[in-house]
Amino acid sequence: MTDEIPPRRQLAFLPTPIVELPRLSARVGGPRIWMKRDDQTGLATGGNKTRKLEYLLGDALAQGADTLITAGAVQSNHCRQTAAAAAACGLDCHLVLGGTQPDEPNGNLLLDRLLGAHIHWAGPYRKGEDIPRLAAELRANGCTPYEVPYGGSNAVGAMGFVEAARELRVQMSERDFDFTHVVFASSSGGTHAGLLAGMRYHGLPLAPLGIQIDKEENGEPFAQIVERLASTVAASFGLEEPFADGELGLVEDYAGTYGVVGTGEREAIEMTAHTEGILLDPVYTGRAMAALIDMIRRVHFSDDDRIVFWHTGGSAALFAYADELLSR
């Protein structure tokens, strides 16, 4: 490991548990399914972004920052966890959210406000396009801001999932788990890239299946973003060989409009709740579980496969999607 690894500020309750989902597995048919419960990381209702924020906050504090800035959609799980991390570390937090201010805050937006974040509305821009302008304003006012990228997905944040891969390897060894696939939502790319680099570094022989959540929007192809970031992170550990397309495990077939709940998401959320008493979120894990269910029905897996589904959190957003989830 090189001296490029950033400092870490512990924020999460780790390791998160792995639980088998026997009733869900039986309902769907096919292989056995387990779940890695990153919805239980503990920071303001939990979520996978806390792993990234441990390294991002370590870097921010090492640089003497007194303010965090990040961006996302109005129901961003990442923004909520960033606001909570800032509060835990005694920093101010500014969130640049897409859309316009609703009449009543609910879901993650309510938690953002309870956590003391300053909210800035950015209209059609939810991926941090306005962060540089806000950072300049804060510096002009005497602040020392640290810019947390959209989704926490840069080489610093992705380190959290290199460590997560090590955590999974230890749990598999201690409890004699023998998984064949790891399935997870892939949106901003940091979780995906960190797991790829971590599985290579820690020798974890799993087939990754990153379910692409967003449709591409006339920018760099998402596969290239994941490959570049994974290769950059792996190089920090002395692993210079780039990732080939076939190693990415990116599943593009289920990408859709961001934040729109369809029949597949609704079924996946209800089925997981009804069979296991576990809440998924409407944007990420709902879509990723819908993809997994569909892939099982299409016999993508054998009955002997053993799948671990990585629950990335976000149940707070359910309250903002009541109409979509309960409609028929």
Q: Which residues have C-beta within 8 Å of that of residue 212, sequence separation ≥ 6?
A: 186, 187, 222, 250, 251, 252, 254, 255
> DSSP strand E in 60-124: where?
67-72, 92-97, 118-121
Cα(121)–Cα(213) distance, rounded to whole angstroms?
23
Q: Give the pair of three-digit tokens for residue 250.
A: 């990116």
Residues 307 and 181 sit within 8 Å (Cβ to Cβ): yes
Q: How far apart are CA 265 and CA 208, in angstroms?
A: 21
Q: Which residues make beta-bridge pairs with 161?
A: none
Question: Is residue 25 flagged as an active site residue?
Answer: no
Which of 76, 186, 231, 315 is labelled catalytic? 76
Is the peptide bond between 15 and the residue preceding it cis, with omega within 30 degrees of 0? yes
Q: Look up residue 263 and give its two tokens.
A: 């029949």
- Find the helix or strand (DSSP H, E) in which 224 lies: helix 222-236
Tell me the residue type at 307: I
Burial class (CB in 10 A: 0-12, 13-18, 19+), 165: buried
Residues facing residue 208 across a β-bridge: 182
Residue type at position 3: D
Among residues 117, 223, 224, 205, the alpha carbon closest in space to that of 165 is found at: 205
Quote helix, strand, coil % in the chain, to nearest 5: 45, 15, 40
Sheet with 118-121: strands ordered across:
118-121, 92-97, 67-72, 145-147
CA 306, distance to chain mean position in Å, is: 22
Q: Which residues are catalytic?
A: 76
